[in-house]
Amino acid sequence: MKKRYFDVIVIGAGSGLEISSFAAAQGLKTAIIEPGPFGGTCLNRGCIPSKMLIQSADVMETIRTSQKFGITGKATKVDWAKIVSRVNKLIDEDSRQIEQANKKSKNLTAYKEYAQFIGKKELLVGKEIITADKIFICAGARPSIPPIPGLKEVPYLTSDEALRLKKQPKTLTIIGGGYIGTELAHFYGSLGTKVTILQRNNLLMSNEDTEIAQTFTRIARQKYNIIFNATTKQVYKKAKQIAADIEVNGKKKTILGEQLLVAAGRQPNTDLLNCKAGGIELTDKGFVKVNAYLETNVPGIWAIGDIAGIYMFKHSANLEAGYAIQNSFGKKIPVDYSAMPHAAFSSPQVASVGKTEDELIEENKKYAKNVHYYRETGYGAAIQEEDGFVKVLVDPNTREILGCHIIGPDASMLIHEVIVAMKAKLGAKGIVDAVHVHPALSEVVQRAFQF
């Protein structure tokens, strides 16, 4: 079998593209391996298409709540095909352009094949065996499919298919109430689909700060049929619908839906790569085990992004790509994950950075806490926001920012001044002393830090 040598091999054309582009620009013979569309999960099956679709849901929600502002509005039609095709056309074109640019790039060889390790620093790609001094594993993760009896026999959706569904279902059952499930519930529900969420515990967004999760759950219960503490025992076809037999506190019931969406988390693609054959050590959950420099146990092999499982966000993968370049081509520096934020573009939006109150209590760390509601600011009153708030957690002596959690309109944007303050170690004083535009919505953040 043909064997080919490279200076650098990058597995995965998401954030890994930053590494392959850098290596090729240095004149290094570089391979980029990507069996799917270029751009990775975020561009093709995740954050970008989902947020573009959610924009349609946000517009619909604005129309439906217009009476609060003295305007009678009504949406007479949802052109589902147009909504979905608009997004997919843009996404597919972006991905195609990225792929074409890589294929034309000097010093870069693109493989549209699956890769598997067959030995130490050796990969089988199609009919070739390739090897390199430096290998970067950036192959991401995929939707996790729980072992529910009958699931393999029924047509079900994951987030991959849910973003490209050609026909809007009248009813949708969602297994899972995390950020993926709740974002898709917002998209489908706002556009008219009747949504049922099967949640295994008693809160949606249960990984968030408890006060945030409780508020989100209370609001969501007014929009969707949510069944808490639900264990799905089996699924099966029933006429033209999909049935889910569930158990709730010892009682059994059956839920019917035109479509079934499984949103039960994500699993790393290490099994598809056969990492064990490459001698690469994995964690108990199957992620590639890396040190503070993103190095694996095999010298000359690094891992970044979802497949390393430290933070499963696109922005953290991009951060890691930069460090992987630095640590493999320059002086080694440990990754600085401080002030790593995240946001859910559900309705309402949720954003967070730093520790939750639950974590601080578990760590037995002293803290001071303050909450400020949107409605207590000029702009919050203008938009008639009744539920949104900013929750801040600081060191009671130094006023170092320990965490900030926001629920409400534009939470994903409002969190950013807190991120900057935390990264720059400005403390609460940095936010309080900064002059904020009045009566901008950002005043709710400033006031939350005024203890």
The rounded distance, in Å, linking the Cα atoms of 379 and 253 is 45
Helix, coil or strand: residue 439: coil
Q: Where are the alpha helices (DSSP H) in 65-177?
A: 80-104, 159-162
Q: How many CA atoms lie within 13 A of 35 on its CB side?
A: 12
Q: Is 438 a catalytic residue?
A: yes
Contact assessment for residue 13 and residue 38, using Cβ atoms and an 8 Å cutoff: yes
Burial class (CB in 10 A: 0-12, 13-18, 19+), 154: middle
Burial class (CB in 10 A: 0-12, 13-18, 19+), 206: middle
In 3D space, the residue among 407, 402, 437 whose CA is nearest the CA of residue 421 turns out to be 402
Burial class (CB in 10 A: 0-12, 13-18, 19+), 161: middle
Q: What is the dihedral of CA 64, 343, 188, 260, to 10 degrees?
A: -150
Q: Beta strands of 108-258 (E only): which ranges?
A: 108-111, 115-119, 122-125, 128-137, 141-143, 171-175, 194-198, 225-227, 230-238, 241-248, 251-257
- Per DSSP, the residues of 282-339 read B-TTSPBP--TTSB-SSTTEEE-GGGTTS--SHHHHHHHHHHHHHHHHSS------TT
The rounded distance, in Å, linking the Cα atoms of 443 and 449 is 10
Residue 327, token pair as written in the block: 């640590």
The end-to-end CA distance of the chain, in Å, is 69
- From the list 315, 372, 405, 438, the catalytic residue is 438
Helix, coil or strand: residue 165: coil
DSSP 230: E
* Residue numbers annotated as active site: 438
